[in-house]
């Protein structure tokens, strides 16, 4: 059965810390891996990763995919209180249904 | 900007009621999805649709049905609401091929009492 596992489940840090969120997956016929940030209600898209070893970067956030070891990490440097959210990882299998398989998320709390 | 709009932010319904959750997207996306989100379980797919009048079951379709009469609108129906359907419901849409970034609505918090 396809599955996506995120760790840690929860993380509490102080502003300025750097955090690394992990996402591992067991999905047959992998197409892409996506990271979302969820604050309050709806997830918002962060990154899509399809190729191994290529880092995607947006400001203080960056992500990389390892297709050999079947995992991805999301790094946030110099964290701010506004980074507090649930971070969701999702994998898209390579079939024609375009269904995403989500992990349970990592809850990040950043305190001043 | 892509907009996915869910009709209600909060709903409180009684056990046994028929409940309609509506979702509208304005980007002409072929795919639309309904998820529910529960603590510790993440997002779970209920149903999805890849075209008008087409639908497929997701991982947890029991107790739900869907309707897609127009491309921009995807409705989730709880035929007879039960307390275990109390949850956050999220609608999403995406293109059918290529980049499959999904755009999400703001969610509907449904409480069944």
Fold exhibited by the domain B4-98+106-112? Immunoglobulin-like (2.60.40)
The closest of A22, A102, A107, A98 to B29, measured between CA atoms, is: A98
Confidence of residue B106 (pLDDT cuts 50, 70, 90): confident
Model confidence over B26-65: pLDDT tens digits? 988 888 999 998 877 778 889 989 889 899 898 899 999 9
Chain A environment of B45 (Cβ under 8 Å) = 99-100
**Percent of chain B whose predicted confidence (pLDDT) is above 90:** 58
- Whether the per-residue pLDDT at B23 is higher than 60: the answer is yes
Residue of chain A whose Cα is closest to the Cα of B50:
A97
pLDDT at A2: 81
Q: What domain range includes position A33?
A: 3-111
Q: List C-alpha distances in Å: A69 to A10, A24, A39, A60, A62.
A: 23, 8, 30, 25, 19
Residues of B in contact with A31 (CB under 8 A): 100
Range of weakest confidence among A95-104, B9-18, B52-61: A95-104
Query: Quick check: A47 and A56 in contact, CB under 8 A?
Result: yes
The pLDDT tens digits of the residues spanning A19-58 come to 999 999 998 788 889 999 987 666 888 998 988 888 999 9
Confidence (pLDDT) at A50: 87
Residue A93 touches chain B, beta carbons under 8 Å = no
CB–CB contact A104 B42 (8 Å): yes
DSSP codes of every residue in B16-53: T--EEEEEEESS--SEEEEEEEETTTEEEEEEEEEETT
Structural domains in chain A (count): 1
Domain ranges of chain B: 4-98+106-112
Cβ contact (<8 Å) for B102 and A104? no
Contact B37, B46 (CB under 8 A): no
Query: Of residues B41 and A107, which shows the higher confidence score?
Result: A107
Mean of the per-residue pLDDT values for chain A?
A: 89
| Tens of pLDDT, residues A59-88 | 999 999 998 889 999 999 999 999 999 899
Quote the pLDDT of residue B98: 47
**Interacting residues of A14 by C-beta distance below 8 A, sequence separation 6+:** A79, A110, A111, A112
Kindly determine whether residue A48 and residue B56, on different chains, have CB atoms separated by under 8 Å. Answer: no
Supply the pLDDT for residue B70: 96
């Amino acid at each position: 059965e396809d599955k996506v596992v995120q760790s840690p489940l929860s993380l509490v840090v102080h502003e300025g810390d750097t955090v690394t969120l992990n996402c591992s997956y067991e999905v047959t016929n992998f197409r892409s891996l996506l990271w979302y940030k969820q604050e309050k209600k709806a997830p918002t898209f962060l990154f899509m990763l399809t190729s191994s070893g290529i880092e995607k970067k947006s400001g203080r956030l960056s992500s990389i995919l390892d297709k050999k070891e079947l995992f991805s990490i999301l790094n946030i440097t110099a964290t701010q209180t506004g980074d507090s959210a649930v971070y969701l990882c999702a994998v898209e299998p390579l079939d024609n249904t375009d269904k995403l398989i989500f992990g349970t998320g990592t809850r990040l709390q950043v305190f001043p | 900007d892509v907009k996915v709009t869910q009709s209600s932010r909060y709903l409180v319904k009684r056990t046994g009621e028929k409940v309609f959750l509506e979702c509208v997207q304005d980007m002409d996306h072929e795919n639309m999805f309904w998820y529910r989100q529960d603590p510790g379980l993440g997002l779970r797919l209920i149903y999805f649709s890849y075209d008008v009048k087409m639908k497929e079951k997701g991982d947890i379709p029991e107790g739900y049905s869907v309707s897609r009469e127009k491309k921009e609108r995807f409705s989730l129906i709880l035929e007879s609401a039960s307390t275990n359907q109390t949850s956050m419901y999220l609608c999403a849409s995406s293109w059918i091929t290529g980049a499959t970034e999904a755009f999400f609505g703001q969610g509907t918090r449904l409480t069944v009492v």
